[in-house]
Amino acid sequence: GEDVEQSLFLSVREGDSSVINCTYTDSSSTYLYWYKQEPGAGLQLLTYIFSNMDMKQDQRLTVLLNKKDKHLSLRIADTQTGDSAIYFCAESPQAGTALIFGKGTTLSVSS
Partner 1 sequence: DTEVTQTPKHLVMGMTNKKSLKCEQHMGHRAMYWYKQKAKKPPELMFVYSYEKLSINESVPSRFSPECPNSSLLNLHLHALQPEDSALYLCASSSPRLGSTDTQYFGPGTRLTVL
Cβ-based nearer residue to partner 1, 17 or 44: 44
Residues 6+ apart with CB under 8 A from 68: none
Give the DSSP letter of residue 38: -
Q: Which of 10, 18, 24, 35 binds partner 1 (CB under 8 A)?
A: 35
Q: Which of 40, 55, 59, 111 binds partner 1 (CB under 8 A)?
A: 40
Within 52-111, which residues bind partner 1 (CB under 8 A)?
88, 92, 95-99, 101-104
Query: Is residue 23 near partner 1 by the rule CB under 8 A?
Result: no
DSSP for 58-81 reads: ETTEEEEEETTTTEEEEEESS--G
